[in-house]
Amino acid sequence: MQKGLSIMKRIATFSVLLALLFSLFSCSAEKSFYDKAYEQLMNAKDDSYTVINGGGFNDGSVTVTVSSRENAIAAFKKVPEDFLEKRAAAYAEKHPVSSSIEYQLEGQTQTLEFEKVRCNEPALKAYCFENEYVSVSYAPETMDMMSFMLYIYTDSPVDEVIRRNKENNSKIVSTHDEAIEYAKAQLTETYGIDLGKHEITTAHLSTPDSYTIKFCQFYNGIFISIIGTEVNMYYGIQYLRATAYKAGAIELYKSCVDYATTEKAREQAIQTLVADAKKDEQIAEIKNVQPFDSGFAEYIDEKGNQSYHHPTYGRITYIKEIDRLAVALYYSYTAVMKDGSEKQGANAIDVIIPIDWAEVYGEKDTISHTNE
C-alpha cells in the first residue's frame, strides 16, 4: 500500500482540478440554497402529501407490478424540455468559472478547456468541463458536483502512464482490500469528500485492471447518497461519482425522508398502490402489503468481489419530468389474479417532496412550470 501511495506522489493526478471544482460554489450560496429548499419543506402541511406510483421492480422474485411512473406523471405536471439548460446557464452566470484549468501530470502541464452547457444526456447533467480526458457533471436539482470521469484514450498522457506502469508491473493496488483503503484515503485527502456515515456496499473487479467501489449512506432504511469510485491498478481513481455528499444535501435529504415516512404518508402510499391495482384488468386484489427490502445480498466470491447487505426500503430520487425530488418507498405484496392464481409483486411508491426548485432558483419569470 505504501508503494502505491509513493507512486501516486510521482504521478500527479487531477487533485488540483478537483479541488478547484469543489470550490466553485461558495459556502454562502450553498447555505442560501439549502435554506430556501428547507423552508419550503418545513412549511408543507401534513395533509399535503402528493403520492404517485413509481413503477415496479425488475427482480427475480417479482412476477407482477402495478402501473408505472410514466402513467402516473403523465397527468401530474409538465415542465419545459429545455429547463435544465436554462437553469444551468443561469446558475453558471451567477457562479462564473475560469475558461480553462491547468493541472500537472508527471511534471507536464495539461490544460482543460471549459465547455458550455450540455444537458442533452438524460442523466443528471447540467454543465461540464470536458476534453478527451475529463468530464465533470452537476446534479440539476442541487447543482452539486455529482460525477468526475477520467476518459482514457489511446495515446493520451494518462494512457501513457498506465501503459508504462503495466510494463514495469508497478501497481498502486493489487487486491480488493487495498483498493478499498486506497479509495477511502483518496476521497478524503485528495478530493475532500468526508465519507461520514457512508458504508461500503460493493467492491468488484469490474475490468481486468480496475476495481469499482461504492459507499452509500442510509437514513432510517432509505438510501440517500452514493459515492462510487473506479480505481485503476496502475493509475488510481479514474472515475468518481458523488451525490448528496455535502453536509447541506445530507441534512436536506434526511428532512425529506422524515417528511415522507410519517404514518400518514405511508398510509397514503399504500392506498395509492391498492387503488392502482384495482385499475389493473388482470388483478382482482392485492394483499400482504409490506415494506420491501431491496438491499444487496451479502457475499464474498472466489475472486474476492464483495457485497454487503444494508436494509434498503426506499431511496431519494429526482424526477426530471416534473422537476421534483421524491422519496420512493418500496412495498412488496401478493397479487390475487382474476384467474385465481397468486403472484408476488413489488412497487416503488413516490412521495413527492414539496420543494419547488423553480422557486428556489428564482426561475418563475424565466421558466414556466405549469400544472395541468
Write out pLDDT tens, residues 156-182: 667 788 889 999 999 999 999 999 999
370 in any annotated domain: no
pLDDT for residue 28: 42
Mean local confidence (pLDDT), 124-135? 45
Q: In this model, does residue 267 exceed pLDDT 50?
A: yes
Contact between residue 15 and residue 186 where contact means Cβ atoms under 8 Å apart? no
178 lies in the same domain as 114: yes
Burial of 358 (0-12, 13-18, 19+ CB in 10 A): middle
pLDDT the model gives residue 231: 94
Whether residue 131 is found in the same domain as residue 175: yes
Mean pLDDT of the chain: 77
* Distance, CA of 14 to CA of 213 (rounded, Å): 19
- Residue 357: which H helix or E strand, with range? helix 357-360
d(CA 128, CA 89): 11
Note whether 93 and 194 are same-domain residues.
yes
Residue type, 220: N
- How many domains in the chain? 2
Cα separation, 44 vs 81, whole angstroms = 27
pLDDT at 106: 62
Average pLDDT over residues 331-338: 92
In this structure, of 28-32, 102-106, 170-174, 285-289, the range with the lowest mean pLDDT score is: 28-32
Does residue 372 belong to any structural domain of this protein? no
126 pLDDT higher than 60: no
- Place 120 in a pLDDT band, splitting at 50, 70 and 90: very low
Domain assignment of residue 38, yes or no: no
Residue 305 falls inside a structural domain: no
Residues 188 and 133 in one domain: yes
Q: Give the H/E segment covering residue 271.
A: helix 263-278
- Both 318 and 214 in one domain: the answer is no
247 and 277 together in one domain: no
Query: Which of 81-85, 115-119, 288-292, 344-348 is most confident?
Result: 288-292
Q: What is the pLDDT of residue 361?
A: 77
Angle (nearest 5°) at CA 146 between 207 and 178: 40
- Cβ within 8 Å of residue 236, ≥6 positions away: 8, 11, 13, 172, 182, 186
What is residue 25's predicted lDDT score, i.e. its pLDDT?
A: 41
pLDDT at 372: 42
pLDDT bucket at 149, cuts 50 / 70 / 90: low
Report which of 317, 314, 322, 316 is spatially closest to residue 356, judged by C-alpha positions.
Answer: 322
Q: Tell me: do 166 and 208 sit in the same domain.
A: yes
- Tell me if 367 is assigned to some domain: no
197/67 same-domain check? no
Please give the pLDDT value at position 92.
63
Residue 10: pLDDT band by 50, 70, 90 thresholds? very low
In 3-state terms, what secondary structure has residue 174?
A: coil
Going by C-beta distance under 8 Å and a sequence separation of 6 or more, which residues neighbour residue 23? none
- 226 and 335 in a single domain? The answer is no
Model confidence band, residue 209 (pLDDT cutoffs 50, 70, 90): very high
- Domain span holding position 28: 2-32+83-253
Spatial separation of the C-alpha atoms in residues 57 and 55, rounded to whole Å: 7
Put residue 314 in one of left, alpha, beta given phi > 0 → left and psi -120 to 50 → alpha: left
Least confident of 80-84, 347-351, 356-360: 80-84
170 in the same domain as 26: yes
Identity of residue 253 = Y
Q: Is the pLDDT of residue 303 over 70?
A: yes
Pick the last residue of a domain from 253, 270, 285.
Answer: 253
210 with 341, same domain: the answer is no
Q: What band does 268 get if pLDDT is binned at 50, 70 and 90? A: very high
**Over residues 29-47, mean pLDDT:** 76
Whether 194 is in a domain gets the answer yes
Give the lowest-confidence range in 216-220, 302-306, 315-319, 367-371.
367-371
Q: Is the model's pLDDT at 295 over the cut of 50?
A: yes
- State whether the Cα torsion 151-154-158-161 is positive or negative: positive
Query: pLDDT per residue over 40-93, tens digit each?
Result: 998 887 667 888 888 877 666 667 777 767 777 776 667 887 777 777 667 666
Residue whose C-alpha is closest to residue 317's, from 255, 225, 231: 225
Identify whether 40 is part of a domain: no
Predicted confidence (pLDDT) per residue in 176-208, tens digit: 999 999 999 988 887 778 888 899 999 999 999
Q: What is the mean pLDDT of residues 123-138?
A: 46
Residues 66, 20: one domain? no
pLDDT at 127 over 80: no
291 part of a folded domain: yes
Q: How far is CA 351 from the centre of its chain?
A: 18
Q: Read off the amino acid at residue 340.
A: G
Q: Which region among 27-31, 108-112, 232-236 has the lowest average model confidence (pLDDT)? A: 27-31
